Amino acid sequence: MAKTWNPRRGDGAAVLVGRLEKVEQVETKYGPAGLATMHDGAGQAWAVWLSAKTIQTAWERCAPKVGEVVAVEFAGERKTQDGQRSYPLFNVAVDRPGEGANAGERWGDEAPW
């Protein structure tokens, strides 16, 4: 059974690196949401919810495929432009040798692998 990765609550490290097992669309009480299952280097299965807008955008930009090594980083909370609210910021990178652009804007050629 996959453990939910939620570093905002202390469930997992701020950066999760693992091999992507599957991505599925699941129904929640808030409507449909993406759910990725990854296995880290120790063999632990992690469920990564792709529901926050920042993680959705970063995930779609890198377009990880099943079997690829993916890094997901919780980069903390950011304030909205008006300063009234905060939102979680996530970065995503995919390990594709020779394709540094797939490491995403945050890591460039210095992705965590």
pLDDT digits (tens, 9 = 90+) for 7-23: 888 777 789 999 999 99
CA–CA dist 85, 10 (Å, integer) = 21
Q: What's residue 2's pLDDT?
A: 93
DSSP-H helix ranges across the chain? 53-62, 104-107
- Nearby residues of 106 by Cβ (< 8 Å), 6 or more positions away: 73, 75, 91, 93
Q: What's residue 99's pLDDT?
A: 67
Q: What's residue 101's pLDDT?
A: 42
CB 50 within 8 A of CB 24: no
Q: Any idea which of 24-33, 58-67, 99-108 has the lowest mean pLDDT?
A: 99-108
Burial (CB < 10 A; 0-12, 13-18, 19+), residue 82, is exposed
Percentage, residues of the chain above pLDDT 90: 55
Select the CATH number that applies to the domain covering 3-107 from these four: 2.60.40, 2.40.50, 1.10.10, 1.20.5: 2.40.50
Please state whether the predicted TM-score (pTM) of the whole model is above 0.85: no
CA–CA dist 74, 55 (Å, integer) = 9
Residue-averaged pLDDT of the chain: 85
Indicate the domain borders of the chain: 3-107
CB 91 within 8 A of CB 106: yes
